[in-house]
């Protein structure tokens, strides 16, 4: 089943501190990967938690064009959406196979048969985790646990997948493998995928669409080449950068210096002139 999601006027704050202020996202479509970028404290993780229904945000959400209003609507949204947080802290005394199986059964029934066992084995094989199937979580590295968390998310068979910094604990090879997988899942399984990334070059290469957050609002939303500009990097990140197209036509960001460095240099020049 294809699922579209739209967010209008989403606002959320912790006490008197407003974190998200009227964030609107045009329709998130199946088969597409949308990357959310922005500096630290821009509101990326809070946005994901609000969409997943984990935080009580003020917003208008439309699921397949229908407003999410009632408690039953919200339950349906939670069944279709899987959120993978940035920090994966589970240290349960279970093997990798067992924790993925538990995640699979949470979205199905608790009757475990050959089909369910085969599905879990298939997911571990797809993520190149089959060699870790009988290892306990406590024995794994941070990057390995992160990949197991991805396996758990896929086991729930979501229609909308929210990935909050899924590459943060991974080495370069695993980052590329995971993002290639994300693109393939969106295409082959018609999933609607929203992924928060810090690496702008990875976001520009693997996403169909970028949403750039700045101080809790949407600064830009569109094709990666349209969002990743020298002006946006200057205004949002405070960085002087060069943006070019690589040999495949993707935007390539080369940071040069920060706005703070430039200000310091200017202040030095003024002091020396005096």
The pLDDT of residue 269 is 38
pLDDT tens by residue, 157-202: 899 999 999 998 889 999 999 999 999 999 999 999 999 999 999 9
Between helix 114-126 and helix 142-155 the angle, nearest 10°, is 130
Q: What is the pLDDT of residues 193-228, one digit of tens each?
A: 999 999 999 999 999 999 999 999 999 999 999 999
At residue 147, what are phi and psi to the nearest 5 degrees? Answer: -65, -35
Residue 230, pLDDT > 80, answer yes
Homologous superfamily (CATH) for 5-87+157-228? P-loop containing nucleotide triphosphate hydrolases (3.40.50.300)
pLDDT score of 169: 83
State mean pLDDT over 254-269: 68
pLDDT tens, position by position, 50-107: 999 899 888 889 988 888 888 888 888 888 999 998 876 565 688 999 989 888 876 5
Q: In what order do the strands lie in the sheet with 66-67?
A: 17-28, 5-14, 58-63, 66-67
pLDDT of residue 19: 95
Residue 272 has pLDDT above 60, yes or no: no
Average pLDDT, the chain: 88
Which sequence spans correspond to the domains of the chain? 5-87+157-228
How many angstroms separate the CA atoms of 194 and 210, rounded?
Answer: 10
DSSP letters spanning 51-111: HTTSS--EEEEEETTEE--SHHHHHHHHHHEEEE-S------S-BHHHHHHHHHHHTS-S-
Reported as a single tens digit per residue, the pLDDT across 16-28 is 899 999 999 999 9
> What's the pLDDT at 143?
87
pLDDT at 1 (0 to 100) = 78
Closest CA to 152 of 130, 123, 176: 123
**What does the pLDDT read at residue 115?**
78
């Amino acid at each position: 089943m294809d699922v579209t999601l739209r967010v209008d006027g989403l606002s959320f704050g912790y006490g008197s501190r407003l974190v998200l202020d009227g964030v609107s996202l045009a329709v998130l479509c199946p088969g597409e990967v949308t990357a959310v970028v922005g500096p630290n404290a821009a509101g990326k993780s809070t946005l994901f938690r609000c969409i997943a229904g984990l935080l009580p945000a003020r917003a208008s959400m439309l699921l397949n064009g229908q407003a999410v209003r009632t408690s039953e609507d919200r339950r349906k949204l939670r069944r279709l959406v899987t959120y993978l947080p940035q920090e994966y802290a589970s240290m349960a005394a279970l093997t990798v196979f067992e924790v993925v199986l538990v995640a699979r059964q949470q979205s199905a029934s608790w009757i475990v048969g050959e089909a369910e066992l085969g599905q879990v084995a298939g997911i571990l094989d797809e993520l190149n985790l089959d060699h870790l199937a009988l290892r306990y979580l406590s024995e794994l590295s941070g990057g390995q646990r992160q990949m197991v968390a991805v396996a758990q998310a896929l086991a729930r068979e979501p229609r909308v997948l929210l990935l909050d910094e899924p590459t943060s604990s991974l080495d370069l090879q695993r980052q590329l493998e995971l993002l290639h997988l994300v693109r393939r899942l969106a295409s082959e399984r018609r999933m609607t995928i929203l992924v928060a990334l810090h690496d702008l070059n990875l976001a520009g290469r693997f996403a169909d669409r970028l949403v750039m957050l700045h101080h809790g609002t949407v600064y830009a939303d569109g094709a990666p080449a349209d969002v990743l500009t020298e002006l946006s990097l200057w205004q949002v990140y405070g960085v002087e950068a060069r943006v070019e197209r690589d040999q495949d036509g993707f935007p390539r960001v080369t940071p040069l210096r920060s706005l703070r460095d430039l200000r310091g240099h200017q202040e030095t020049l003024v002091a020396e002139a005096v």
